[in-house]
Amino acid sequence: GNSIQTDVCESADWYNSKFIVLMAANMNMTRTPDVHFISEARTEGTKFVVLSPDFSQIAKYCDEWIPIQAGQDTALWMAANHVILKEYYIDRQVPYFIDYVKRYTDLPFLV
């Protein structure tokens, strides 16, 4: 399939992550200089999930490959956002989460 790279995160920060989800990108081909950060993070215990309809070159390095099909991505991310908002805002107010959302995301209208 065709896709574009739309992430804006700093690749070096992946090393500080505990959980990485990669979607619609074959990092081995599109960001060759940066892909080592994922390997380094995995060495430190970071879990790595790839959402892709095909078992791409990067999928063979992940902890879990989810063979998502076209049109399923929106439902998946809506469900993920529902769980995050429910657990960190509705069920219990987590100050760090609320502050982070208001400062660094485009969803402060929800909290």
DSSP string, 69-96: PTT-HHHHHHHHHHHHHIIIIISS--HH
Q: What is the mean pLDDT of residues 11-38?
A: 85
**pLDDT, the chain, mean:** 85
Assess whether pLDDT exceeds 90 at residue 83. yes
Domain at 59, CATH number: 3.40.228.10
Tokens found for residue 37:
């950060």
45 Rama sector, left if φ>0, alpha if ψ -120 to 50, beta otherwise: left
Assess whether pLDDT exceeds 60 at residue 2. no
pLDDT for the residue 5: 52
Q: What is the mean pLDDT of residues 61-70?
A: 92
Task: Quote the radius of gyration of the chain (alpha carbons, Å).
Answer: 15
- 81 and 105 within one domain: yes
pLDDT for the residue 67: 94
- 76 and 59 within one domain: no
Q: What is the mean pLDDT of residues 68-72?
A: 88
> Residue 1's pLDDT band (boundaries 50, 70, 90)?
very low
pLDDT for the residue 8: 56
- 32 and 11 within one domain: yes
Q: What is the mean pLDDT of residues 51-70?
A: 91
Assess whether pLDDT exceeds 90 at residue 31. no
Range of the domain at 92: 71-111
